Structure formats: structure tokens, C-alpha cells
Amino acid sequence: MNILGISAFYHDSAAALIKDGEIIAAAQEERFSRKKHDHRFPLNAIKFCMDFAKLKVEDIDYVAFYDKPFLKFERILETYLMYAPIGIKSFIKSMPLWIKEKLWIKELIKKELGYKKMVLFPEHHESHAASAFFASPFQEAVFITVDGVGEWTTASYGIGEANQIKILADIKFPHSLGLLYSAFTYYTGFKVNSGEYKVMGLAPYGEPKYVDKILNELIDLKDDGSFKMNMKYFNYCAGLTMTNDKFHRLFGGPPRKPETKLTQKEMDIARSVQEVTEEVMLRMARHVKRETGMKNLCLAGGVALNCVANGKIWKENIFDNIWIQPAAGDAGGAVGAALFTWYQYLNNSRIADSSTDFQKGSFLGPHYDDAYIEKFLTANKIPYLKVSDDKELVTKTAELIAEEKVIGWFQGRMEFGPRALGARSIIGDARSPKMQSVMNLKIKFRESFRPFAPSVLEEKVSEYFEIDYPSPYMLLVANVKKERRKEMSKKEKELWGIDKLNVVRSDIPAVTHVDYSARIQTVNKNINPLYYQLISEFEKLSGCAVIVNTSFNVRGEPIVNTPEEAYKCFMRTNMDYLIMGHYILNKQEQELLDKDIDWKKEFELD
């Protein structure tokens, strides 16, 4: 039986294909359309899933859409009516798309795909919960879902047992932890639904000076993690912005304009809203533990991408085990909706072994074999070296990393979710003091304050970091071990941004943030064998089982999907080598692109 899951029309549209309960394929539309966070109907992602599984539309038994459009429309209408006549501009702007497209999902699916069978509509947070629990390794667990908003719900918790999930309680719009975080994302000058992770990355530079102000004025937080927001300060219910003048007066001025200089104020605000978010998540986690007594926790929803908050929950030992859906945002709703249909609607059995999840490392996207890559290279007269096998491949690549070369690493199936996990990655030497600045400013062209993540052999994680638990999807943050740290001098502590980031703070400085934290990816030899071999080979050569891993793209660009996109990104940046399949490309041997266009004009800055 084949089930197609679809999420669309908010942000990060995606499709997923489930065959007899197994996740066969999943991808975000942005990887094909090259428009970051693409919200449109995911025709390209659907086509990929169908082609990958060699299916025609007649072979699809069910389509599951990740939320209930009419219920969402009801929330939008009621909200506008509540605030009318304020919000009329926003109302007029949003209505045509709803009336023409968003309300008629069933008809749209039939029209676009020629599909004539049943379409199911789980609720938005049911889809999140299903993506977290059904894909997890647990036979029973409690789940927490937290995001901006679905239909009405903005956060929920419940129980997952075998093949069923049940939501026990929720928080409803307009009270939303995700929207609170987005409001501060907007106020600090970053793009909503895109720049939230930048606020998280900025937080360690600041002091929590505004925590009391946020808790006293903006959010009434209860012991059980439930809360109400003071809507007098927010504009998102009826306006075209997230915050209003009252909010701006509370924090001493208007929002920072995008791309202008960051000040200590933005850093302090980022730190403050991050701490409030962590406190809310911790209280929720403690409450659901008290209520259910469950040992295992599953997380999903956009706020579950806040790996610092996840790391705090883990560190408190509230639960024995934790699993977070790697595509925790709306893209993962496509997987959740399809799994919900297979298990909950069709009542198929589910047996989990408590150790291996059903997400397959999230390597669920397109794959390009050596024949395809060589054909592309030959047709375009691109110089390359072909290695004979995986052993030679990882040996040569490990040597290049040890020489502090920056490498585009393009192998196997593309990742599903926002993180590069060793299939579409830019990699480098974590020991190198210069790697942070080289990668940030010459390779990624992104803001200087942002840190990079480490990939570490799973069994070696506790030798480098204060954690002894797998983090395969880069969704837990932990500190570098104390014995590996180097204390900063008083003068160094007063530095800012890239200057502070460039201070050597450990023996793996390229992945150590200014507060000694790191966003960890553990690499398992069975789930990602080639990447595991590469890091193992690098360890033999250098004595270090950690490398730098960042996504294969430039700022504003979706992660590369095809060899053609990988080559173009390689040539537009200062990467030294591109390694695709068994082919090694040296930048020094390449001719400049003769018809290239400025990437900054092609991709809108995120």
C-alpha cells in the first residue's frame, strides 16, 4: 500500500511516500524549485517521490494532507472578525489565495496529480505528533509538539502507544511559543520563519537582561509550562508585522532594520527570549513527565528545532530517552500525515525495538550515481580525478581535511529536513583556528557571529562533549568537555562577533561556540557508513574524531540537490575541493564559470 503525504501553503512545503508503513522517500519543495522555504504546492517533491518508488498516480492508495484547511480558515476568519476593522489590509491581502487555492486542497490534489481516491486531513499537530512518535524507536512515549500555529493549536502533548497517538492537552492561538520567538526574530531584524536559528546562534553573545520584562509583561507562564500571552504587545493577529509600537516602547526602540549592524541590545534580547523558551520547554517536559510517567520523550514542531532548548531538557534527565523528528517543522508534517494514515487510520501494527528509528538517518531524498556524475563532468569538460573505491576516497579526503582544505562533500541520498548530515555538506578540520572565519565569510557568505557544527563518531562523543547520548540529527546542544577548553583572557572576553568567535577556546575551535557549546551530530557506522569511514580515517591521521559539518549552500540558497548545483556552488565560493561520488575536483584545475550570475541576485538573503 502506498501513501503520499503532503505539506504545503505555509512554509517548507514537502512530500513523503510511505510504502507498507516504510518511509521510502521524502523531500522539501525548495530543493527542486531553488526557492528557500518554498510554500507552494510541492509538485516537484511529489514527482521525485513517485519516480523514486517507480509509481504512477494510480498506484497511490491514499493522499494525506498535513492539516485541516477549513479549520485553519475558521481561525483566520474569527481572528480578523475579533480585531475588525483593524487588520483589513492584511485580510484583503490573504483572502485571494485562500479562496482560490488553500481551501480547495482536495480538488487541487485531484487536478494537479490526476488522483481520484481518498484524501485524508489529520490535524496539524496530529501530523507533528505522528512524525515524532511513529518515526521514533519507541513502542511507547510521550510527545510534545510546539510551533507557531496549526489550525488553532500552537502546542500539545499526548501519548503514543504502539500504533496510536492521543493528544491529551493543548494551547491555542494566539498564545504561541513559536510566535513569541518569531516576534523577537522580527524585532532583532531577521526574517520570520527563517531566521529563528540565527536568534538562537546570537544568544550566547548576550546577557539575559530582558527575561524579567518578557515574563512580567509579555507572557504569563505557569508551573506546568502552559501560558497566556499579553496580546496588547503583538501585531500578528491582524497586522502585517509581528510586534507593535507598545512592544517597541517596552524594549526601547523600533525593530532593527535587516542587514544593519547588530548591537549588544539585539544579543541581550536574543539571549533573553532563548532563556524564556528554554524555561517554557523545561516546564512542559517536567509536567508531562509528572502526568504520564513515561520514560521516553518525542518532540516535533518548529520549536523542536531549537537544539539548545532540547539539550537543556536532555541535560536535566527528565526522561531516559529523547527522540526529535529531524524535519521537525512543517516539512515533517508530510511524513507525519502519511504515517498517521498508515497506523492510526488504517490500524496497521507497529513494533519498535527501542534503539533504531524509522527515519533511516533522514537520507530520504534524491541520489545521483557515479554514471550520472561522470556524464555531467565529461559533458562539461570538467577536470577530475576518479578514485577506485570507498577506501581510496576516504583516505584522500581525510588527507585534504588534515591539510585544512575546505571540501564540498556530495554523497548518497539528500537529507530530508533543514540539516546537512553528511550527504550534502561542506566539511573541514575542526582543529583549525582559521576554519570558522574562512567558512563563514569566504565560503558561506553568511553573518560572522554564527558557529559551525561538529560531526563526531557516535562512540567517541563523550570524549569531546558533555553528553553520552546519540544526537544523529544535530538536534542536541552540549558543551565541549572542560579538559578540552581553553579559558579566554579578560581582553578576549571583551571581543565581539567574529573576533570573539575566532579566539581559540578549545582544541576543536572551529566547532566551539563562544559559550563553549556545540550543536552535535553523532555519526553511526550503520546509518551513514561512508561518512563514518571518512571521520574514522581522519582520526587515524590526526588523532581527532571530529570534523566541521555545515550545509552545502551559500546564504539564502537551499541546500544543493544535484551535481550541477553542487558544482555551481563550489565554483562560486572559495571551497578548495568538491568530492561527488568517487570523483575529486580540485578548484585550482577548474576554469572560471563563463556564464555565471551573481549568487546574491539569484538567492534572496535569508
Q: With a threshold of 0.85, does the pTM exceed it?
A: yes
pLDDT digits (tens, 9 = 90+) for 235-293: 999 888 999 999 999 999 999 999 899 999 999 999 999 999 999 999 999 999 999 99
Stretch 13-41: mean pLDDT, rounded? 97
Question: What is the per-residue pLDDT for 200?
Answer: 96
Stretch 77-98: mean pLDDT, rounded? 83
Helix, strand, or coil here: 372?
Answer: helix
pLDDT digits (tens, 9 = 90+) for 397-454: 999 999 999 999 999 999 999 999 999 999 999 999 989 888 988 788 887 788 899 9
Question: What is the per-residue pLDDT for 132?
Answer: 98
Question: What is the per-residue pLDDT for 498?
Answer: 65
Residues contacting 6, CB < 8 A, separation 6+: 13, 14, 15, 41, 42, 46, 63, 64, 65, 66, 109, 334, 337
Question: What is the per-residue pLDDT for 596?
Answer: 67
Question: What is the per-residue pLDDT for 369?
Answer: 98
- Find residue 160's DSSP bridge partners: 141, 165
Question: What is the per-residue pLDDT for 66?
Answer: 97
C-alpha cell of residue 26: 521524502
Stretch 460-467: mean pLDDT, rounded? 98
Res 356 pLDDT > 80: yes
Q: What is the mean pLDDT of the chain?
A: 95
pLDDT digits (tens, 9 = 90+) for 494-552: 887 667 777 899 999 999 999 999 999 999 999 999 999 999 999 999 999 999 999 99
Res 465 pLDDT > 90: yes
Stretch 3-22: mean pLDDT, rounded? 96
Res 601 pLDDT > 90: no
Helix, strand, or coil here: 250?
Answer: helix
Residues contacting 283, CB < 8 A, separation 6+: 221, 222, 223, 224, 225
Helix, strand, or coil here: 546?
Answer: strand
* pLDDT band (50, 70, 90) for residue 597: low
pLDDT digits (tens, 9 = 90+) for 382-391: 999 999 999 9
Question: What is the per-residue pLDDT for 577?
Answer: 98
* CB-count exposure of residue 585 (10 Å: 0-12, 13-18, 19+): buried
C-alpha cell of residue 478: 552540549
% of residues, the chain, pLDDT over 70: 99
Res 600 pLDDT > 80: no
Helix, strand, or coil here: 457?
Answer: strand
Stretch 356-360: mean pLDDT, rounded? 97
List Cα–Cα distances, 261 to 189, 265, 300, 374, in angstroms: 10, 11, 33, 45
What is the distance between the terminal CA atoms of the chain, rounded to a whole angstrom? 39
pLDDT digits (tens, 9 = 90+) for 194-224: 899 999 999 999 999 999 999 999 999 999 9
pLDDT digits (tens, 9 = 90+) for 119-167: 999 999 999 999 999 999 999 999 999 999 999 999 999 999 999 999 9
Which of 531, 307, 551, 291 has its CA nearest to residue 412?
531
Helix, strand, or coil here: 497?
Answer: helix
Question: What is the per-residue pLDDT for 99?
Answer: 84
Stretch 77-95: mean pLDDT, rounded? 83
Stretch 108-113: mean pLDDT, rounded? 94
Burial 380-410 (b: 16+ CB within 10 A, else e): eebebeebeeeeebbbbbbebbbebbbbbbb
Whole-angstrom distance, CA of residue 163 vs CA of residue 445: 45
